[in-house]
A = this chain, B = another copy of it.
Amino acid sequence: MTLDPSTTRSVLISGTWRAANHQKTFSPTDPTLNQTIDHAFPVSEWSDCDEALDAAVEAARELKSVASETIADFLDCFASKIDQSKDALADAAFHETGLAKSPRLADVELPRTSNQLRAAAQACRTGSWTLPTIDQPAGIRSCYEALGPVCIFGPNNFPFAFGSVSGGDFAAAIAAGNPVIGKANSSHPETTRLFAQLALQAIEETGLPKATVQLIYRTSHDDGERLVSDPRSGATGYTGSRHAGLKLKAAADKAGKPIYLELSSVNPVVITPGALTERGEEISADFLTSVLMGTGQFCTNPGLVLLLKGSHSDTFIESIRDRFAAAPAGTLLSPSVANNLASSIKTLCEFGAELLVGGGEPEANRCAYANTLLRVSGEAFLSNPEGFQTEAFGNASLVVVAEDLPQLCKAIRHLEGNLTGCLYSNTDGSEDEACQQISQELAPKVGRLLNDKMPTGVAVSPAMNHGGPYPATGHPGFTAVGIPASLIRFAKLTCYDNVRENRLPPLLKAENPLSAWRCVDGSWTRDPLS
């Protein structure tokens, strides 16, 4: 499907690409040039959402009688099409996000995305993600089941791996048996449209209900809130800014609709004196790689470093300051990211943070901002912990230098919920007592605790938690990355009490046709019931 660039792009509703019901349009920006791209995308009126919801309800109903195998086939087929369209997808995404094609879009994020879809397909095939639980003496069985239409709002920073019709939330929602209404991120709508095209092809090839994947680009804020709280909606996945996310959360909460949010995180990194003495330069290099990766636009970007006062810390700060100064400033995703970063830095400085390097205004000819390092004392941090946790999304970090261990622990105790928390210490174990104190403070604040490792790598592992206490996310019990655990978010628990064998879902039948892992009378097994 090739469109005249002057034509407003179509939305995908109920298996058909059609003109949106719209009065306004928008266009993304090429951040490498800070210039508007000559593609118009519609701002859908409510009627588009309404039609998409109706179609999704019907698709949800049909999906209930589709075999898991077929849904898995769709995910695999879609994954293959993504791999085959690598160049076109990377071109579109580079144009809209400025993220490098290599090493990043084509060779890192794209295979991650297709492999994530394949992992979801595998989870869908076996069904073990539904945690089937059988109490034979009581005649009671339960498992998680599809919940209904899932609305997905993807973020700006991972156009593939977190994309609204390609990413982790999408893979999880589909593998759990739900149709998806994707709302493209406004900074990369063309990239999202290409994914939706491939998804529709895969739907047609595998015979899923046509409205299994639908796409709109943008709505008014009011219509967004209406969408996530509509009675026809099953649940929502949102990754993006805290401000917009909390508005959607309020609407969904009021309607009793589950909404899973990934909002913001400064990802504290604590580095002990022993670690700095032992391998300060190595950690400094690791930190630089992590903090500037993707121009700092990772959800898990280490935006807050906590150190103890002393010469080792001063040396470390000098080292990272020099590395910040020497590294070229990467391109940011959009003008608003650059402006928000400048604004956050200004705010942090107003609160009293010392600017060690960077700062200033965004560049004019591209979306970019100087690599920025800030420093503040533990005492100052504790005088305004909320203010100093202002997220500076991008290539910036704030170093807190605490007077002593109690002050360091106190600072951690004042942290909001975060996705990650890292602790670097020396290797001989002599700091273990201090580390225990630090860990005890840090663990309750984060979804993922790391040792001796930077937080930016988020493996697609069954043991991953890409989540954390509010306001990092909306609920501390769920992960957005990691299969099969991420699927549970888009499912409801259903108990079958004395339900006749021929009416049970396959996963709860005696013969266990999918050889799923099931907890039978307290023991996990893949065997059929005896």
Contacts and interface: CB of A to CB of B under 8 A. Distances in A.
Interface of A: 61, 64, 133-135, 138, 140-142, 144-145, 147-148, 249-250, 253-258, 417, 420, 429, 432, 435-436, 439-440, 443-444, 446-453, 459, 461-465, 467, 469-471, 474-479, 485, 488-489, 491-500, 502-503, 517, 519, 522-525
Most chain B beta-carbon contacts within 10 A, residue among A254, A450, A461: A461
Copy count, this protein chain: 2
Contacts of A429: 502
Given A439-B503, A453-B498, A462-B133, A258 B140 contact: no
A493 B467 contact: yes
Contacts of A448: 494-497
A494 B450 CA distance: 11
A459 B140 contact: yes
Contacts of A435: 503
Contacts of A453: 497-498
A148 B499 contact: no
Contacts of A463: 133-135, 138, 140-142, 495
Nearest to A488: B477
A140 to B, nearest CB: 4
Contact of A253 (B253, B446, B467): B253
B474 A256 contact: yes
Contacts of A250: 253-254
A37 B507 CA distance: 53
A211 B305 CA distance: 35
Given A144-B477, A147-B476, A485-B133, A465 B254 contact: no
A258 B468 CA distance: 12
Most chain-B Cβ atoms within 10 A of its Cβ — which of A135, A254, A440, A444? A444
Nearest to A126: B522
B464 A492 contact: no
Contacts of A140: 459, 461, 463-464
Contacts of A255: 470
- A141, A470, A492 — which one has the most chain B CB atoms within 10 A of its CB? A492
B436 A503 contact: yes
A450 B497 contact: yes
A332 to B, nearest CB: 27
B444 A148 contact: yes
Contact of A495 (B257, B439, B464): B464
Given A436-B503, A462-B519, A492-B469, A498 B257 contact: no
Contact of A449 (B439, B489, B497): B497
Contact of A459 (B138, B249, B443, B446): B138
Q: Which 6 A-B pairs give the minimum distances between C-beta atoms?
A: A256-B470, A524-B524, A465-B495, A476-B492, A253-B253, A448-B495
A449 B499 contact: yes
A140 B450 CA distance: 9
B148 A461 contact: no
Given A256-B474, A524-B524, A451 B144 contact: no
A388 to B, nearest CB: 17
A475 B258 contact: yes
A120 B451 CA distance: 33
B477 A465 contact: no
Contacts of A449: 494-497, 499
B494 A443 contact: yes
Nearest to A259: B253
Contacts of A489: 477
B138 A461 contact: yes
A88 to B, nearest CB: 31
B464 A477 contact: no
Nearest to A137: B461
B470 A492 contact: no
Contacts of A447: 492-495
A492 B444 contact: yes
A258 B477 contact: yes
B522 A462 contact: yes
A348 B522 CA distance: 45
A253 B474 CA distance: 9
A436 B502 CA distance: 10
Given A135-B461, A135-B462, A452-B500, 6 more contacts: A144-B477, A257-B470, A439-B503, A447-B495, A450-B497, A451-B499
A498 to B, nearest CB: 5
